[in-house]
């Protein structure tokens, strides 16, 4: 049987900085393992080795309220600290937003690049040194839309993130953004000010105000339109993390957490703007920890036997059975006691067993009765589940990174059932 489900990625912290397993371990099938090869050393400006090809667009609030609060210096410094720790396999883009969203171009129609030292330097230069103009509004839905369009056009189709950094709620004028004009709408008033041409089109917004530099932040139409914009992005598979800077973020903490961020855990409150840098560094570390890892070893990772784990001290009879690691490294594939399902009416006849792993997918050799089965297991929520449909219960599960290694191990095992892959 082949088990194959769509991968998802956990929102809990998972360390991806584990050391390599010890070399020279002997596998359950008599094969000597040369040891798992660790990942390459970190880029010269990164604290994290890898983020598994994550694509990020930073949507940075550059509104007049930030000028009034006097926090732009801290915000700019925090953004620079964030950029300094990005792994080089992350693609990073930038959209700043005030009256209108403005996307940074490394070159013409080139808005998303790997976080190499030179590209990070260029992006830092795109973060204004001057404080925001006092009249600047907060075109949040435009910024989210621009960020999503960049990811759609230039992302790698894998893990995508919009990182929104703001000090409040949406506040903007109706009209088109991205066409480079302050277009009058049907009623005759001018559209958002300071609009610049956007490489991936123009977008109209109708939930804001009908004139003047600023309306009242968070009016019903603005909130509704911004929520709808965020929902469309999240429903398309892109994660949104909202970072609120300063106090209660002008009363919009709950809105950003419940309506904009992908989950309540994806809202980060930074009460003191001076802490933004350390908070963003911790955030990208956790985001990268959340991602699954490609499994690249040709060796046995771990073999789990279903064995006695509790005996009667007087009679020596076994009172309880569970899966225990016999060979390999339980940090690569781990097991929580009791994570198996047994046959109906039987306490210790497992037909499935669930294991924790940081790998995106694994191949398992599953033995039940006299037979072996090779299964491809795709991680869901950081877990894989080995199953067996034969009437016999599972007696062991051995994990490998690829089908060839699993098949070779199964072929070498002395079983009348042989190793049959499906």
Q: How many CB atoms lie within 10 A of CB 415?
A: 13
Handedness of CA 314, 320, 321, 325 (dihedral sign): negative
- pLDDT score of 191: 73
- pLDDT score of 18: 21
Residue for token pair 């490609």: 294
Task: Give the up-direction half-sphere exposure of residue 176: CA atoms within 13 A in the CB hemisphere.
Answer: 15
Chain-centroid distance of CA 288 in Å reads: 6
Quick check: 336 and 346 in contact, CB under 8 A? Answer: no
For residue 252, the SS3 value is coil
Which of these, 350, 374, 369, lies nearest to 416 by C-alpha position?
369
∠ CA(279), CA(282), CA(283), 5° rounding?
Answer: 85
For residue 411, the SS3 value is helix
Sorted by sequence, the CB contacts under 8 Å of residue 320 that are 6+ apart come out as: 308, 309, 310, 348
Distance CA 38, CA 296 (A): 10
Which of these, 250, 256, 260, 205, lies nearest to 227 by C-alpha position?
260
pTM over 0.75, yes/no: no
Quick check: 183 and 189 in contact, CB under 8 A? Answer: no
Quick check: 98 and 66 in contact, CB under 8 A? Answer: no
Chain-centroid distance of CA 329 in Å reads: 25
Pick the CATH number of 55-290 from 3.40.50.410, 2.60.40.1510, 1.10.287.610, 3.40.50.10860: 3.40.50.410
Quick check: 354 and 383 in contact, CB under 8 A? Answer: yes
Rg (CA), the chain: 27
Per-residue pLDDT of the chain (422 residues), as tens digits, is 223 222 222 222 222 222 222 222 222 332 222 222 222 223 333 346 677 779 999 999 999 999 999 999 999 999 999 999 998 889 999 999 999 999 999 999 999 999 999 999 999 999 999 999 987 899 999 999 999 999 999 999 888 999 999 999 999 999 999 999 876 665 566 678 889 999 999 999 999 987 654 556 778 899 999 999 999 999 999 999 999 999 878 889 999 999 999 999 899 999 999 999 999 998 988 888 666 778 889 999 999 999 999 999 999 999 999 999 999 989 899 999 999 999 999 999 999 999 999 898 999 999 998 889 999 999 886 789 999 877 889 999 999 999 999 999 999 987 544 444 43
Q: Where in the chain is the domain with CATH 3.40.50.410?
A: 55-290
- pLDDT score of 13: 23
Which of these, 319, 327, 379, 390, lies nearest to 354 by C-alpha position?
379
Distance CA 247, CA 245 (A): 7
Sorted by sequence, the CB contacts under 8 Å of residue 203 that are 6+ apart come out as: 142, 145, 146, 176, 177, 178
């Amino acid at each position: 049987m082949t088990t194959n489900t769509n991968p998802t990625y956990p929102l809990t912290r998972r360390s991806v900085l584990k050391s390599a397993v010890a070399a020279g371990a002997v596998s359950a099938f008599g094969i000597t393992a040369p040891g798992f090869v660790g990942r390459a050393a970190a880029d010269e400006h990164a604290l994290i080795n890898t983020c598994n090809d994550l694509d990020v667009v930073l949507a940075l609030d550059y509104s007049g309220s930030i000028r009034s609060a006097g926090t732009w210096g801290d915000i700019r410094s925090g953004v620079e600290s964030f950029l300094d720790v990005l792994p080089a396999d992350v693609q990073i883009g930038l959209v700043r937003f005030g009256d209108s969203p403005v996307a940074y171009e490394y070159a013409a129609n080139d808005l998303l690049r790997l976080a190499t030292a030179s590209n990070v330097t260029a992006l830092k230069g795109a973060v204004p040194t001057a404080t925001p103009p006092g009249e600047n509004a907060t075109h949040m839905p435009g910024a989210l839309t621009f960020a999503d369009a960049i990811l759609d056009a230039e992302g790698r189709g894998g893990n995508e993130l919009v990182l929104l950094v703001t000090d409040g709620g949406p506040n903007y004028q109706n009209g088109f953004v991205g066409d480079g004009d302050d277009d009058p709408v049907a009623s005759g008033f001018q559209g958002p000010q300071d609009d610049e041409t956007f490489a991936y089109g123009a977008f109209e917004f109708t939930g804001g105000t009908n004139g003047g530099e600023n309306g009242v932040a968070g009016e019903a139409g603005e909130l509704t339109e911004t929520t709808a914009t965020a929902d469309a992005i999240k429903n398309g598979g892109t994660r949104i993390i909202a970072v609120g800077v300063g106090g209660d973020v002008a009363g919009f903490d709950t809105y950003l957490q419940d309506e904009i961020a992908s989950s309540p855990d994806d809202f980060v409150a930074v009460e003191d703007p001076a802490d933004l840098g350390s908070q963003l560094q911790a955030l990208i570390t956790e985001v990268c920890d959340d991602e699954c890892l490609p499994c690249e070893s040709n060796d046995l990772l771990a073999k789990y036997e279903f064995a006695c784990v509790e005996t009667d001290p007087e009679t020596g009879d076994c009172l309880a059975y569970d899966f225990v690691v016999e060979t390999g490294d339980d940090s690569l594939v781990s097991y929580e006691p009791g994570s198996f399902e047994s046959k109906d009416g039987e306490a210790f006849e497992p037909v499935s067993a669930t294991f924790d792993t940081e790998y995106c997918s694994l191949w398992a050799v599953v033995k039940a009765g006299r037979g072996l089965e090779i299964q491809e297991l795709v991680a869901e929520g950081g877990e894989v589940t080995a199953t067996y449909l034969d009437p016999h219960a599972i007696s062991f599960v051995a994990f490998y990174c690829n089908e060839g290694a699993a098949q070779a191990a199964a072929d070498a095992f002395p079983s009348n059932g042989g190793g049959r892959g499906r």
